[in-house]
Amino acid sequence: MVGVTPRRLIEKEVVHRGLTELRVVETMLERKALMAELSDVFIALPGGLGTLDELFEMLTWSQLGIHRKPCALLDVDDYYGKLAEFLDHAVAQRFITPQHRAMLIVERDAETVLDRLATTPLPDVSKWMDRKPA
């Protein structure tokens, strides 16, 4: 398992001890780019602002066609329940298309997340929003 961390965070964070390799980069932008390059899928576990930043950047990159890799939330103990509700609200308010909302898998069980990542195709979305009034 490969870890990627900016040099400044080595002293501030605990580095996972089970890594087979640790790659140290200079910036968070470099971290995200390298993580995107090395990853086949993206799964966010419960976390803070950095986790959300990385998740939404990878989801946005998928939306923009920068990569075609699925994204998921492992919703342990309903940690991400309100976030999923907000995304559904954003769909209802027409800020996110249903197709783009469907790009984020949300499951409470790790095995189910893995199964869905393996079997759910990414939607082929050619345009961002329907400009017709609701």
Where does CATH 3.40.50.450 sit in the chain? 41-121
What integer pLDDT is reported at residue 5 of this predicted model?
Answer: 87
Query: How far is residue 63's CA from residue 32's CA, in Å, rounded to a whole number?
Result: 16
| Residue ranges in the chain whose pLDDT is less than 70 | 14, 125-134
Strand (E) or helix (H) holding 51: helix 49-64
CATH architecture for residues 41-121: 3-Layer(aba) Sandwich (3.40)
Query: Any idea of the CA torsion for 49, 50, 51, 53, to the nearest 10 degrees?
Result: 80
- pTM score, two decimals? 0.83
Secondary structure of residue 93 in the 3-state scheme: coil
Close Cβ partners of 87 (under 8 Å, ≥ 6 residues apart): 96, 101, 104
| End-to-end C-alpha distance for the chain, whole angstroms | 47
What integer pLDDT is reported at residue 98 of this predicted model?
Answer: 92
Residues 94, 129 contacting (CB under 8 angstroms): yes
Classify residue 52 by burial, with Cβ atoms within 10 Å: 0-12, 13-18, 19+: middle
What integer pLDDT is reported at residue 132 of this predicted model?
Answer: 59
